[in-house]
Structure formats: C-alpha cells, structure tokens
Chains A and B, each alone.
Chain A
C-alpha cells in the first residue's frame, strides 16, 4: 500500500468525533465519580465535598433498596422471556409460509414506535374500566388494578418492556438462523427427530453466541428502564414500580440532589459492568466477543 497521507492526517479525521466523545462522554464519565462525593443540596452552584456521605445515605435508604429489588425483579422476569420468546417467534417466521413477511413487519412495529407512545397505548389498555379488565370480567374475575395495585404495577410495566422488545430480538435471531446449515436439520430428520427435538439438538447449540448476545443486551436494557415507568406509573403506587434509573432521575432532576443521585449512578454503573462480565463468562466470552 502506498502511504498517501502525512502522519497527522489520521488525527484530523478523528478530531470532530473525538471532541464530541471527550466533551459529552469521557469528561462526564470521570466527573460522575467526583460528583458522587459532593453535595449540591445547599447550593446548586457551589457543591461541597462530603466524602462518602452520599454512599452512606444511599445504602441506608429504604427507597433505594426498594428500587434495587424492583430492578432485580425486572431483570429476572424480563430477560428470560426476551431470550426465549423471540427465538420461538423467529423460528416460526423463518419457515416458508404464505404472508410470513407481513407477520415479521407487524411484530417489528412496536420496536420503532417511541416508548412514550407505547406507554400511553398500554396505559389505556390497563385503565380501570379499560379493555383488559373487560376481558377479565368475561372470565368472571374481579377487575385488576393493573397500574394501581402495588402488587401488580411492576409486572404490568414489565409486560410493556417485553412487548416492545420482542421484535428487536426476533430480528437478531432471524439473522442468526439463516446461518444454521440446512444439512444439520436434514441429518436430524433422518434420525427421526421431531420439530421440537430438532431445534433443541441443532438450533440452540448453533445459536449459543446469539443467545449470549441477546441475554447481555436485554439484561443491560432491563437495568436502564425508565420511560415506560415515567409514562405509566411515575414509579408508584408507593414506589412499587420505581426502578434505579427512575430513582436517579427523580433525585437528580426533580430534587436537584445531583451528588446523591450520582452516587446511585455509580452503583448502577458497577452493576452493569458486573452483569456484562457474568454474561460473557457464562456463555464463553470468546464466542460472544466475535459477534460483538
């Protein structure tokens, strides 16, 4: 290869993106740690240094624990569904079937629509005299306070997150399915395997890296849920559906406790890091790394 550029030229190409990432990513990233040791409570313009006080307060706050538990529930309920259900749907839409592209299109629509609109649509379904309670009444069951019952609200919101994610993960699985060699299925046919066994024996082992990818992406996005909660429940009733990002948002931008909220942000960061590492270790990191 002929070297057609002067040594400084590569940096010229990198400078514009570099400035944006430096100013709006790297500096804030390091600052987020510093902020967590400061308090903005007395004066929003001149924070004072408080050492570990924010962390001490954080870990003695019952609401913080509540949000951590809620986020954990989000994770253990939403992630398994988002790993399994889209795979099943992907296998179905991967067949030769009349009108299959229409199904794909319809199932993908929730992905492209803003989560604010999705939250509004579902809030309407969940209304106390709404359509879901009508269906419930057909079964002769008492109406459910989908978003107003503290025992139910969190799960109602999880349903929306899952519903909005299905099409996205389905498409990721679809791409991976096209790479599974046909002759493996034919070999399974000869062995007399039925449909379900075929997929357990062939598809799942072959898709392991994709399953790993989906579980990483979906668990990290479960840690970040915010908008659907903001739109549908405001974290209520009685913090029943409040997650960690909602807590950070509220403390930072409604109460202007920027230092305290930053401490919660650092905790979130550590959890996200641990999750990525566990996920990669669990599914043999080398294969995952190849996909990413």
Chain B
C-alpha cells in the first residue's frame, strides 16, 4: 500500500514537472540578466542575478500596454455578449413551445460540428463587406474581432441546461404575481443560474484571451493587436533575443494564471460541461 502511494507520487510529480517545466524555464530565462549566458551547459535554472530589466525593455520597445488593453476589451465585450445572447436564446429553448423549435434546436446543434477553420474565409469576406475592419476605424476593428464570437452553441446549451433545472412552480408563481415574460427571465432565471453564467464567463474569457487565428487574420494595425498576435509579432522582431520573448510571454500569462488559481473549481466544472464544444 505504502509502495503504491510512493509510486503514485513519483508518477504524478513527473507528469507535473512536464506540465509546468516549460513555463518555469521560460520564467528563468526572462529574469536572467543580459550578462548571463542563457545557452550555457549545464543550464542554470536559478539566475545568477535575477532582474526585471527584460520586462521593462519589452514594455518600452513594443506597445505591450496596448496589447493588454486590447485583449481586455475583446475579452470583456465577448463575455458580455455571450452571456446575454446565450441566456436570451436559451430561455425559449428550455421553457417555451413554438413553431420551428426543433428545427432551431438542431440548427444550433449543427454549428458544433463545423469547425471555424472551415468557414473562416467567408467570415473574413463578411467582415470586410460589413466594414468591420481596423482600416475603417478602431471601433469597427473591434466589432469585427468580437462579433463573430458573440454567441455559440456551447453557451446556449449550457444556459438551456441550467434553465431546465429551475422548478416550473417558480415560473407559475411569478405569472400569478403579474410578471411578464421578460421579467421572469430577468428576475427569476438569471439570478438562479449564476453558477452557469460564471462558468460561461470564465470559459469565454479563456477562449477570447488566447484566440490567435481570427485576430491574426483581421488585424492590420499594430496598435490593435491583442496579446497572442502581439507575442508572435514580438517573436519576429526579437528573433534572437530569447530574454525579451520569454519576458513578453510570461507577462501575457499572468492575468489568466491569476484567474485560474482564484476560480479553479469553475474551470474544472466548466471543462466537463463544455466537452461538447469540440
């Protein structure tokens, strides 16, 4: 029994090291001073004289603050839109009878089967046609960045599932008290499904914060770059300077890491509910 536990620990420590080792090495490189040889053998995990100079340099040499602000703008608006649109669409799907309900249900379900990579070209043309690109204006650029991801089937089904769990009696009581349909949605369904909304918000944040493919397609102005696009740009500019690249990468993961460590259980529960997302 004891041996079994010891072997389990060894195995899990090994997997844990593989999981976070690459980030630790990146952090170690980011805080090494310009005088220290980052290629030396054997590699030095603990820097001789740790410094923040690389972070400061990156901050001064590329508009890193703009990348962070842009990423937050995109994430926040994507979250708000997803919460509102998913919760609205989920209500009739969970609680009302109407013509075409099955058709709409399966149409939404079908969107799960089609990867974005398959339709990204026509989506790009659509955004161009609608003038939602950063060459028109920054606001138009943000619209083109955010709106294609304003709602998805995962969010709608997550909220529908949450709404299905609310007792019918509550709804009936509200009708007798004279609430209209919108009131019932806003005063009963929304407050009672806060955990589902929190899960959806977190997942939307993680997705929006790390999204690279779409922003790399639509963005043309450097001041509009989000963090992942900014990082690949930085990688191109400082191709040989691994201290700077590492410093930029480390800075970009701090917000998401802090969020994860604070709200871990939502991440875990959301993963299992979101397994449909594909």
Residues in chain A within 8 A of chain B (CB atoms): 1-2, 4-5, 7, 9-11, 13-14, 16-18, 20-21, 23-29, 31-32, 35, 89, 92-93, 95, 97, 99-100, 102-118, 120-122, 124-125, 127, 129-131, 134, 137, 163, 166-168, 171-172, 174-175, 195, 213, 216-217, 220-221, 223-224, 226-227, 230-231, 245, 248-249, 252-253, 258, 261-262, 265-266, 268-269, 272-273, 276, 291-292
5 nearest A-B residue pairs (beta carbon): A114-B210, A28-B122, A10-B92, A17-B89, A121-B22
B256 touches A113 (CB 8 A): yes
- Quote the shortest CB–CB distance from A100 to chain B (angstroms): 8
Q: Which residue among B176, B249, B252 has the maximum number of chain A CB atoms within 10 Å of its CB?
A: B249
With A and B bound together, what is the CA distance between A266 and B115 in angstroms? 11
B257 touches A113 (CB 8 A): yes
With A and B bound together, what is the CA distance between A131 and B267 in angstroms? 32
Residues in chain B within 8 A of chain A (CB atoms): 4-5, 8-9, 11-13, 15-16, 18-20, 22-23, 25-26, 29, 39, 41-43, 84-86, 88-89, 91-93, 96, 98, 101, 104, 107-108, 111, 113-115, 117-126, 130, 147-148, 150-151, 156, 168, 171-172, 175-176, 179-181, 184-185, 206, 209-210, 212-213, 216-217, 227-228, 231-232, 235, 242, 245-246, 249, 252-253, 256-257, 260-261, 264, 267-268, 271-272, 275-276, 278
A14 touches B92 (CB 8 A): yes
Interface of B is mostly: helix
Residues of A close to B122: CB separation below 8 A? 27-29, 31-32, 35, 262
Contact of B84 among A16, A104, A252 (CB under 8 A): A16
With A and B bound together, what is the CA distance between A78 and B45 in angstroms? 30
- Quote the shortest CB–CB distance from B212 to chain A (angstroms): 5
Interface of A is mostly: helix
With A and B bound together, what is the CA distance between A167 and B130 in angstroms? 39
B206 touches A121 (CB 8 A): no
Contact of B15 among A20, A89, A217 (CB under 8 A): A89
With A and B bound together, what is the CA distance between A289 and B17 in angstroms? 36
Given contacts A18-B89, A114-B212, A217-B275, contact A28 B18 (CB under 8 A): no
A117 touches B213 (CB 8 A): no
A-B contact pairs, 20 of them (CB 8 A): A4-B179, A13-B92, A14-B104, A16-B84, A17-B86, A21-B111, A24-B150, A31-B125, A35-B122, A103-B16, A107-B19, A109-B20, A117-B231, A125-B25, A134-B43, A172-B271, A175-B272, A252-B121, A269-B118, A272-B115
